[in-house]
Amino acid sequence: MHTLRLKVNDKVYNKLLGLLGKFNRDEIEIIADTSDFTKNQKYLAIELNEILNGTANFIEIEEAEQRLENVIITHENRI
C-alpha cells in the first residue's frame, strides 16, 4: 500500500472526497494530516531507527511505570 500527501484547492476538495469515498476502506483510507499526526509520525520514525540501529535506550518496566505515575500525578495536580 502507498501513502500520498496532496494539497487540494478548496474548490475541488469536496469533489475529491466524494470520489475517494466510492472506494472501500481496504482500497483507500483517508488519513487526516494534522500537525500532531505529522509530528508523531516523525518522532516514531526516529524511535524505530534507534531501535533498528541498536542505539535506543531501554528502561525497565518498573521505571516506566514510575514515570507514568509521575505524569498522572502532575496532571492531576494541574486540574
User: Considering the domain boundaries, does residue 54 fall inside one?
Assistant: yes
Q: For residue 73, what pLDDT is reported?
A: 92
Q: For residue 34, what pLDDT is reported?
A: 75
Split the chain (79 residues) into runs of 10 and give each run's mean pLDDT. Answer: 87 94 91 81 95 96 96 88
User: Considering the domain boundaries, does residue 27 fall inside one?
Assistant: yes
Determine the distance from the C-alpha atom of residue 53 to the mean position of all C-alpha atoms in its chain, rounded to a whole number: 22
> How far, in Å, CA of 75 to CA of 66, rounded?
14
DSSP 21-52: TTS-TTT-------HHHHHHHHHHHHHHHHHH
Q: For residue 1, what pLDDT is reported?
A: 82
Number of domains in the chain: 1
User: Considering the domain boundaries, does residue 2 fall inside one?
Assistant: no
User: Considering the domain boundaries, does residue 4 fall inside one?
Assistant: no
Task: Give the helix/strand (H/E) hosting 13.
Answer: helix 10-20
Q: For residue 69, what pLDDT is reported?
A: 95
> How far, in Å, CA of 28 to CA of 3, rounded?
10
Give me 67's grid cell.
Answer: 514515570
* Parent domain of 15: 10-78
**Is the overall model pTM greater than 0.75, yes or no?**
no
